Amino acid sequence: MKLIFAAITGIVFGAGIALSGMIDPAKVLNFFDLAGSWDPSLAFVMGGALVVTFLGYRLAWRRSAPLFEPRFQIPTSRVIDAKLVGGSALFGIGWGIAGFCPGAAIPALGTGRWEVALFLAAVTGGFFLRRLFARAGIARMA
């Protein structure tokens, strides 16, 4: 039951990514191209997602536990460090170069485009790079 629920959640998310235009790197890059072919559509994606999530989370948290797990697992860290800021800055640079982010690319894989598979393979490579750096002790990235 839990797995069916997770799959349905994935379908709803992927349908949202496809319908919203987040799935299209041309549209994503145009959202950031304020000085050129600017397309503000993605502000509406974020707006719609935030309204539902902001209200829906508060309704969900009225329960003492989620439906299929004993407890809510919500990040509690409030630490603002170089890892958070530097990692986020890097993420934005990569997003601006490729036009895909992970949440858009996973559903985009379902369109069968090879570029998406290439991007996700590279993202996975980036996860391994981080592990490599952590092992080498560079900037204490562990």
Partner 1 sequence: METLFTPFSSFGGGLLIGLAAVLLMLGLGRILGATGILSGLVFTEGGEEFAWRAAMVAGMIAAPGLLYLATGFWPALTVPVSPAMIVVGGLIVGLGASLGSGCTSGHGVCGLSRLSVRSLVAVPTFMATAAITVFLIRHVFGA
Q: Which of residues 112-131 bind partner 1 (CB under 8 A)?
A: 113, 115, 118-131
DSSP E strands: which ranges in the chain? Answer: none
- Using CA atoms, how far residue 89 sits from 12, 79, 99, in Å, is 29, 16, 15
Residue with Cβ nearer partner 1 (8 or 135): 8
Q: Count the Cβ atoms, other than its own, within 10 Å of residue 36.
A: 9
At its nearest, how many Å lie between partner 1 and the CB of residue 36?
6
What is the footprint of partner 1 within residues 7-66 (CB under 8 A)? Answer: 7-27, 29-30, 32-37, 39-42, 44-54, 56-57, 59-61, 63, 65-66
122 or 135: CB nearest partner 1:
122
From the CB of 137, what's the least distance to partner 1, in Å? 14
- Closest approach of partner 1 to the CB of residue 38, in Å: 9
- Under rule CB under 8 A, residue 138 binds partner 1: no
| Contacts (CB under 8 A) with partner 1, residues 63-92 | 63, 65-69, 71-75, 77-80, 83-92
Measured CA to CA in angstroms, residue 101 lies from 76, 104, 120, 128 at distances of 24, 5, 9, 17
Q: Name the residue among 90, 118, 94 with its Cα closest to residue 105.
A: 118
Instruction: Give the 3-state DSSP-derived string for 70-85, with helices as H, strands as E and coil as C.
Output: CCCCCCCCCCCCHHHH
